[in-house]
Amino acid sequence: MAGATKSALWDIRPLPDLRGVQCQGRPIEDEGGSMPGTIELRTDRLLLRRHVMEDAAPLHEGFGLDEAMFEYSGWNPYATLEMAEGTVAEYIASYADPRAYAWAVEHDGRLVGTVGAYDYDAEKSTIEIGMSIEKASWGQGFATEALAAVLRYLVEDEQIAAVIAWCAADNVGSRRALEKAGMVLTQVEKDALVIGDATFDKLDFEYRANEQKRRSGRQTVLVNPQ
């Protein structure tokens, strides 16, 4: 609908306490330093790992061909197999920068999603986060579980002061996952997102570490550190 303005849905429900969520991390290669970047993270049900080129086909098929995956971003980096290959190649190249993060999310050995953190601002010590879960796996808590592990890793282990995120107000799944993972709504920007023919309010979120915990250093258990 041309020029449609969609308004926020303000359902207020109690959020579960995820402070006890545990994950184990394994540094990749021999980095071993204090900023190992995209390491493997394990949660109860998920493996978060670095991308490999073989991810391109499932990302194209499960994400790039499904309009629901980019309804609220207008951005489809997996639209063709060639684009998916280019995007995965960029993810892999980004591992050279320890402040760029790109995880493939696996459940039962299958790629079900992605989590990325990018645009690190060294001065402010902030980074932006984004995630996607294939439609067939929506509503099982995967985004919440993956996000909770990544947020904790970024602020407690990687010592980044604040992780920021945004979503369209109508993207209820995204908003709920961000909130349930512990992010706090900081701002509503009226009609700030124009995606195709639709205009949405933009919701800004932030996750800050408990300063004491952040200063106490690494929380993730490193398995077999070299």
- Which residues contribute to the site for ligand COA (CB under 6 A)? 13, 69, 72-73, 130-133, 138-144, 167, 171-174, 176-177, 180
In terms of CB distance, is 118 or 138 closer to ligand COA?
A: 138
- Nearest Cα neighbor of 175 from 64, 41, 22, 12 is 12
CB of 205 vs ligand COA, minimal distance in Å: 9
Specify the residue, 161 or 172, whose C-beta has the smaller distance to ligand COA.
Answer: 172
Q: How far is the CB of 143 from ligand COA (least distance, A)?
A: 3
Nearer to ligand COA, 63 or 153 (CB): 63
Minimum CB distance to ligand COA, residue 211 (Å): 26
- Tell me the closest approach of the beta carbon of residue 128 to ligand COA, in angstroms: 10
CB of 46 to ligand COA, least distance (A): 10
Decide: 187 and 204 in contact? Cβ < 8 Å: yes
**Dihedral sign from CA coordinates of 77, 8, 189, 1:** positive
Instruction: Kindly tell me which of 133 and 160 has the beta carbon lying closer to ligand COA.
Output: 133
| Closest separation in Å from C-beta 217 to ligand COA | 29
Q: Which is nearer to ligand COA, 86 or 130 (CB)?
A: 130
Q: Which is nearer to ligand COA, 39 or 203 (CB)?
A: 203
DSSP notation for the chain: -TTEEE-------PPP--TT---EEE--TT--SS---S-EEE-SSEEEEE--GGGHHHHIIIIIT-GGGTTTT---TTSSHHHHHHHHHHHHHHTTSTT-EEEEEEETTEEEEEEEEEEEETTTTEEEEEEEE-GGGTTSSHHHHHHHHHHHIIIIIS--SEEEEEEETT-HHHHHHHHHTT-EEEEEEEEEEEETTEEEEEEEEEEE--HHHHHT---SEESS--
**Which CB, 43 or 132, lies closer to ligand COA?**
132
Residue nearest ligand COA, Cβ-based: 173
In angstroms, give the least distance from the CB of 40 to ligand COA. 20
Distance CA 145, CA 215 (A): 24
